[in-house]
Amino acid sequence: MTNVPTDLLRTLVTVVDLRSFTRAAQALGITQPAVSAQIKRLQALLGGELFDKSAPGVALTPKGDLVVNGARQLLAINDQILKAVQPQTATPTLRLGLAAALGPDIPMAALRRIGGGGWRFEIRRDRSDDMLNELAHDELDLVVALTPSDPDPAPRHQWSEPLAWLRAPTTDWDLAGPVPLIACEPNGDLTRVAIATLSCEARAWEIVCKVPDESSVMTAVAAGLGIAPAPRRLAPPDVSAFSDAPLPRLPDLHCGVYLRDGGGHEVLRSVADAIAAALRPGVGSSRPSRQVLTPIELRMGSL
């Protein structure tokens, strides 16, 4: 009887979850050709195509759907066995996912205030929908995400983030031409909002600069290479809101702090509350308040 290696199944599930062979390779720590080779080997073992090559992006065939569903079950059992026999780590770890568009410093400041209770942090900055998917599969413990609509499931904390088109004072743009966008590649949370907003208004646009991550977008904007949306209150001092340009109004985004299924451990809920206190807009302030945190006593224990 043929046995299917779990590493091949894990590669398949990662490609499907991340919707990209390239992103799967990065997540697994291997090359993209290695990912493609593993998928080909798995298809040879199972005797058929798992991906629909006629469809755009990453789309599964009916056989692919069946295999992925079974792979998730097998991998869950595999991981449970490994977790049961592994020695318990002396220092518990919280796995946090933070929307890159919110900036790097404020959540870190919150973690400094509650750190020191014997906990370690693993922090990711990525696209919100990818991290929420990982949260649903217990691969992250907490996610701070930006979403264009009311989220499901409901977050522990939620508030609105008004967006603005931002530019540098030196930005020179022909108002009769396409909107010169600076984009995060692969498309980040704010890049997708910008493209959707302009497309809904049938407004011509072109990507004049691609950057590797959300944190680089404002650097390119400040250099005068183009324009991009961002939360208005988090705009750096060397850029300004492009309020006088004939651009469509950007929607407010929902910022939420989400916990893994079941709400997590008391310590995790305390972390969520501290991060929300640091990120939530302060009353009457254009920047998040950093003075609302109170000391939190962390008790050791398993998550």
Classify residue 56 by burial, with Cβ atoms within 10 Å: 0-12, 13-18, 19+: exposed
Three-state SS at 100? helix
Instruction: List Cβ neighbours of 62 (8 Å cut-off, separation of 6 or more).
Output: none
Residue-wise pLDDT tens digits, 41-99? 999 999 999 999 888 888 999 999 999 999 999 999 998 898 888 776 556 788 899 88
Element (DSSP H or E) covering residue 18 = helix 6-18
**Residues forming beta bridges with residue 93, ordered by sequence position:** 120
Mean pLDDT over all residues of the chain?
A: 82
Query: Is the separation of the CB atoms in 112 and 271 below 8 Å?
Result: no
pLDDT tens for each residue of 9-18? 999 999 999 9
Partner residues linked to 253 by β-bridges = 161
Encode pLDDT of 125-178 as tens digits: 888 988 998 898 888 999 999 998 876 678 999 999 999 999 998 888 887 889
**Structural tokens at position 24:** 């799967």
- pLDDT score, position 94: 84
User: Which of 15-19, 219-223, 236-240 comes out lowest in average pLDDT?
Assistant: 236-240
Nearest to 273 by CA among 300, 252, 297, 302: 297
DSSP letters, 43-75, are HHHHTS--B-TTSSSS-B-HHHHHHHHHHHHHH
Structure token digits, residue 217: 């977008």
- In this prediction, residue 122 carries a pLDDT of 87
Q: How far is CA 272 from CA 141, 162, 253, 269, 276, in A?
A: 10, 22, 19, 5, 6
- Specify the pLDDT at position 226: 92
What's the rounded Cα separation, in Å, for the pair 28 and 139? 13
Phi, psi of 159 (to 5 degrees): -155, 170
Q: What is the mean pLDDT of residues 212-233?
A: 88
Domains of the chain by start residue, with CATH:
6-85 (1.10.10.10), 93-158+254-279 (3.40.190.10), 163-241 (3.40.190.10)
pLDDT at position 298 is 29
Q: How far is CA 41 from CA 9, 157, 250, in A?
A: 11, 44, 46
Provide the pLDDT for residue 261: 78
Q: Return the pLDDT at 115.
A: 54
- In this prediction, residue 186 has a pLDDT band, given cuts at 50, 70 and 90, of low
What pLDDT score was predicted for residue 181? 93
Rounded-to-integer distance, Cα 104 and Cα 30, Å: 27
